Structure 1
């Protein structure tokens, strides 16, 4: 099941969006400490790829239970789902940092797969100024050139038919076309869209799409978070 999830504006605290974590949950914890993150008031949203490559991928189960932590599905979550269901490429997953999964008991593997299948493909957050923020892992799943945010959501949820849904899923999880073409065309119907997947040396923007995966799974990379109300950035380098 592929779904979207909507969040009303946070009238009491702050909202942050974090780039691809890739198992570096200790680094994420350090970033939240630095921000004086308040678990009673603040929220954090992830662009996906919470697992693989880093040391603590199994911690995803604990993080997804936290009422203030929300994530979309990334391609690494999809790889896990596919491999556990028998439809994936296990050697390919292992090469991409997934070896930790196959050391676990089958019941834990199943629990992980079930938990990750529940993640939405798109998150939408209302801001207090009537602006709307979107989050998707790789790229907005717009199928036709004149499509906007609503069409992207309809494609993901299957309202536009099965073929469009398959296409949309591939774009949402894997696409890099926009960044490879340096395409500044804004996504219609959304004020700002946060994505991960494509590693950038520092947070960058193409039109109204903001790329926030600053490569925390690489030795020279960092984990970046953005306050979505103020657009201020905090980055934690790998050696912090």
Structure 2
């Protein structure tokens, strides 16, 4: 299937995990892929995996000037977009009593402010009829202890998809959310836990998934592509949860 032949897509945070899986899936279906990320080495590796047609740009998803710089760089290269996957995100957790402004900003600067103003900066680069997919989280729904700030930031994104859809539909631009449950990505290794605690936490999470396992980045990527493709043209301002039943049962 080549649903994206002749299309150009942008994946923020496309240098690892879910973002890289989505970028590969787009490329496999014929898309020209642009990826962003902060780490130069992983960006270079991802670009090599995606092939010579891919474009890799270093970008800080929390920075408003960087959001404008990315849009300007695309304009300079003559790149207009048919799909955008806003995937770059931060996940910082702490019990409510221990949350401080630094942790709040670490989540909201990337997940909400960065995403919002990146999309705003990209508006002139979006073709009419483009699709935007935002990476949410089931944490916006399940009330997991220690996730209050992260969950609130993802809930804001889910709301954002509805309001932006209402504003952008005159151009035929759809905005939807894919909300993953536990997915096997490098994110879990970045939570600041020692190996034993990380293993115990992963086992505890897995026990709550009816399917009995973590999902794969490729499984989530398939939903991202579905929401980006013409086949989902009647899905607007919606959220698809991909969590092995964790939030449903």
- TM-score with structure 1 setting the length: 0.31
- TM-score with structure 2 setting the length: 0.30
* Greater relative CO (CA pairs within 8 A, separation 6+): 1
